[in-house]
Amino acid sequence: MELFCYQTNERMQEKDIEKLYRELLVKCEGLIKTLSQRVDAEKDAEEKEKARKVREEMERQKREREEQERKKLEEEEHKKQLVPKY
């Protein structure tokens, strides 16, 4: 089987076609591997960002609860000071 090669105006031999096919196949496999690695890296980065946001929200809620508890204790202390002692 021969294929016409437009660049050199020559016909390609079957072995040359197979060689080009193998080279293209290796390049495609390499590109697919690279793309897969990039997708995995992007997924990892997204998961890390999501985990960071969850941690920040949990910390914010904890600070808010601590602040509410502190205010509650201050109010109770203030009420104790207002109650006259007999």
The parent domain of residue 76 ranges over 3-82
In eight-state DSSP terms, residue 5 is: E
Specify the number of domains making up the chain: 1
What lies within 8 Å, CB to CB, of 11 at 6+ separation is 2, 3, 4, 5
- pTM (2 decimals)? 0.57
State residue 5's pLDDT score: 55
Q: Which amino acid is present at 60?
A: R
- Residue 21 three-state SS: helix
Instruction: Name the more confident of 82 and 57.
Output: 57
Instruction: Write the pLDDT tens digit of every residue in 12-56.
Output: 788 988 999 999 999 999 999 999 999 999 999 999 999 999 999
Q: Where are the beta strands (DSSP E) in the chain?
A: 3-5, 10-12
